[in-house]
Amino acid sequence: MGMAKFEPVLMEAVGAAEGHTLESYRSRGGYAALERLLAESQPAEVVEMVKSSGLRGRGGAGFMTGVKWGFLPKDHPGPIYFCVNADESEPGTFNNRFLMEDDPHQVLEGTIISCYATRATTAYIYLRYEYPRSLERLQAAIDEAYAAGYLGGDIKGSGFSLDIYLHRGAAAYICGEETGLIESIEGKRAWPRIKPPFPAIEGVFRKPTVVNNVETVACVAQIARRGVDWFRSIGVPADPENPRDPGSYGPKLYCLSGHVEKPGCYEAPLGITLRELIDDYGGGVWKGRRAKAAIPGGISMGLATEAEFDIPLDFKGPGSVGCMGLGTAAVVVLDETVSIVDYLHNSCRFFAHESCGQCTPCREGTSWSLRILERIRAGKGRLKDLEILLEMGSTMGMMPGSTICGLADGAAWPIKNAITKFRGEFEDYIKRTNPEGWMVTEAVPALEIVGAH
């Protein structure tokens, strides 16, 4: 079933010659919205604009952006800081990279508008080390923006001043957690902080701080240019029966990778189904095979089975089939030949490596879940291991209340989700590979881990 492809907005620069330049961005209408807002609107009005749009953060949590901005204390003497979270490290995710490489000025305009709204006077773009091209493109765009008077003192005579600096990371996933990011900017170990206080009250350098994702600020630029009504005409409206439902408005960049014919970054309205993304955008499962499962939004979300592929990829759909949420909307497809044991090992290895180590349930839980998966893959697994893994999967995390940040929830979800949905496969694997010992229930020695860190 074909469907009309959504006309790209966030990805309008892809394919444009020299699309990353100021000249190209201005020829597409860029920076006109910023100039108009600076001349005609007060910061509080810009906050209202973003609130009314229904924009929800694109970094993984889906929190209402305008509401987050509203947490900043009124009449604070400042300085107020804004951080753009460009630490994109969730496995399967690469949409921020596309935005920064192909249309850095869109990211900048969105950042400047957001800083005007939040009265931030300094913005840090926290950029992961592994994106050198984004570093080049963003720095060049920042230089162009200063030269054109969109950054620096008294921007376009508005009285608003802003400096934007790139801050380069050093290959740590936890720097994508907003308080880990803040600690990292401050020059310390990137150990997340207990919240409250929330960054809006006490953030970087103990000042009010807002942290937003790259795609979120790009949406701000487009909302400013095309309007709230335009943004709300796209996506899935709030359920009128449910006053707590904020809806899933706007366009979304969906990353698609793994066992599909055409991996890539595709822009579509929030709410297309997993099956539509794979078949209509991604050319279907590769090599004429069937899908076994897919990750709906970055590895932390767990798996949707093939039978569950008709869920909408909005903020509610993945949760309805036992996934943690929409996450980064990075879809990774596993074909029928993939062993779920291998998938879970890969996930556990990632989280064991990336756990910051601060909280015992996460440090020990991620480490031990990897050791158990290693032992299972080495042919020494037992059915008892599945009980232990499920126990860890349900006790480590912010949701069970045992850790400071959500990395542990992301580590736990694939464990409990995969074992629940593919229990038969795990049991068959264990019995087949350890015919003499699968029934043992006493403690067994761990194997030495090679190559996790």
Helices 214-226 and 43-53: crossing angle in degrees, nearest 10, is 100
Give the up-direction half-sphere exposure of residue 243: CA atoms within 13 A in the CB hemisphere. Answer: 0
Cβ 56 vs Cβ 63: under 8 Å: yes
β-bridge mates for residue 258, sequence order: 333
Instruction: Tell me which of 3, 205, 233, 310 binds other proteins, using CB under 8 A.
Output: 205
- Cα 32 to chain centroid, rounded: 29
Segment 295 to 324, residues that bind other proteins, using CB under 8 A? 295, 299
User: How many Cβ atoms sit within 10 Å of the Cβ of residue 37?
Assistant: 21
What amino acid occupies position 415?
I
Run of H or E including 366: helix 360-375
Q: Which stretch binds other proteins (CB under 8 A): 138-146, 226-234, 273-281, 337-345?
A: 337-345
Q: Which is nearer to other proteins, 21 or 300 (CB)?
A: 300
Q: Which is nearer to other proteins, 46 or 418 (CB)?
A: 418
Instruction: Tell me which of 8, 16, 51, 163 binds other proteins, using CB under 8 A.
Output: 163
What is residue 292's DSSP assignment? E
Segment 101 to 160, residues that bind other proteins, using CB under 8 A? 122, 128-133
Q: Which is nearer to other proteins, 248 or 257 (CB)?
A: 257
Least distance from other proteins to the Cβ atom of residue 189, Å = 4
With 0-12 / 13-18 / 19 or more C-beta atoms within 10 angstroms meaning exposed / middle / buried, residue 167 is: middle
Q: Which is nearer to other proteins, 104 or 235 (CB)?
A: 104
Instruction: Tell me which of 32, 39, 44, 170 binds other proteins, using CB under 8 A.
Output: 170
Question: Smallest Cα–Cα separation from 59: which of 18, 90, 13, 92?
Answer: 90
Q: Does residue 350 belong to the site contacting other proteins (CB under 8 A)? A: yes
CA distances from 180 to 130, 199, 313, 349, 359 (A): 18, 11, 28, 21, 13
Give the up-direction half-sphere exposure of residue 362: CA atoms within 13 A in the CB hemisphere. Answer: 28
The binding track of 432-451 with respect to other proteins, each residue x by CB under 8 A or -, is: -------------------x
Cβ 81 vs Cβ 203: under 8 Å: yes
Rg (CA), the chain: 23
Q: Which is nearer to other proteins, 185 or 223 (CB)?
A: 185
Q: Which is nearer to other proteins, 264 or 322 (CB)?
A: 264
Residue keyed to tokens 């100021």: 22
CA distance 297 to 303: 9
Q: Does residue 358 belong to the site contacting other proteins (CB under 8 A)? A: no
Q: Does residue 264 belong to the site contacting other proteins (CB under 8 A)? A: yes
Q: Does residue 238 belong to the site contacting other proteins (CB under 8 A)? A: no
Q: Does residue 188 belong to the site contacting other proteins (CB under 8 A)? A: yes
Instruction: Tell me which of 89, 209, 212, 403 binds other proteins, using CB under 8 A.
Output: 89
CA distance 173 to 193: 15
Give the CA angle between residues 251, 254, 259 to the nearest 5°.
160
Q: Which stretch binds other proteins (CB under 8 A): 34-42, 87-95, 373-381, 421-429?
A: 87-95
Instruction: Tell me which of 12, 90, 306, 409 binds other proteins, using CB under 8 A.
Output: 90
CA distance 251 to 234: 6
Least distance from other proteins to the Cβ atom of residue 186, Å = 5
Q: Does residue 284 belong to the site contacting other proteins (CB under 8 A)? A: no
Cβ 89 vs Cβ 134: under 8 Å: no
The binding track of 406-435 with respect to other proteins, each residue x by CB under 8 A or -, is: ------------------------------
Instruction: Tell me which of 91, 149, 227, 400 binds other proteins, using CB under 8 A.
Output: 91
Instruction: Tell me which of 115, 155, 172, 285 binds other proteins, using CB under 8 A.
Output: 172
Q: Do β-strands 304-305 and 291-295 pair in parallel, antiparallel, or remain unpaired?
A: antiparallel
Least distance from other proteins to the Cβ atom of residue 251, Å = 18
Instruction: Tell me which of 353, 363, 377, 416 binds other proteins, using CB under 8 A.
Output: 353
Question: Smallest Cα–Cα separation from 151: which of 160, 166, 163, 159?
Answer: 163
What residues line the site for other proteins (CB under 8 A)? Answer: 79, 88-94, 96-97, 122, 128-133, 163, 165, 167-173, 184-190, 205, 255-259, 263-265, 295, 299, 330, 332, 334, 338, 342-343, 346-347, 349-350, 353-354, 356, 451, 453
